[in-house]
Amino acid sequence: MAGPGGEVVAEVAEGIGVATNNVAEYRAAIAGLALAKDLGAEQVLLRSDSKLLIEQLSGRFRVKNPTLQRLHQEVRALARGFRDGRYQHVPREENREADRLANRGVDDWRAAEGAGYRPPEPAPELWE
């Protein structure tokens, strides 16, 4: 999270367990907006490399998935608490810092409550 001059004032990196990329993007937006509010921000620019997230929050794409609908409502409610809130899509290669924090959150989760997690086995081939 950057201040008005672009300096980093806070970071969020937390594991959320097993979730889709879209759920993770929404959860990151919620965590960032909540922290911005706690720090007293009046204006926010939510930047993400998730085109889906930005388009849905901007109202250009519909939110069809029930889980994302709930998370979308939560983000929008948090965003209403700021005098000015904007959304911006950034290419992934320009979002390396966010990737670093996401990876740190995953690593922390896997080292703690996710230590015993094993991905499910792939489904068997139907036509062998």
The CATH number assigned to the domain holding 63 equals: 3.30.420.10
Q: What is the pLDDT of residue 76?
A: 96
Provide the domain limits for residue 36.
21-111
| Helix or strand run (H / E) with residue 69 | helix 66-79
∠ CA 119-122-123 to the nearest 5 degrees? 135
The rounded Cα 28 to chain-centroid distance in angstroms is 3
Q: What is the pLDDT of residue 96?
A: 80
Are the beta carbons of 44 and 36 closer than 8 angstroms? yes
Nearest to 33 by CA among 65, 10, 52: 10
Residuewise pLDDT in 10s, the chain (128 residues): 556 676 666 777 777 888 888 999 999 999 999 999 999 999 999 989 999 999 999 999 999 999 999 999 999 999 999 999 999 999 988 878 777 777 787 777 778 877 777 777 888 888 86
Q: Tell whether 104 is covered by a domain.
A: yes
Give phi and psi for 87, each to the nearest 5: -125, 140
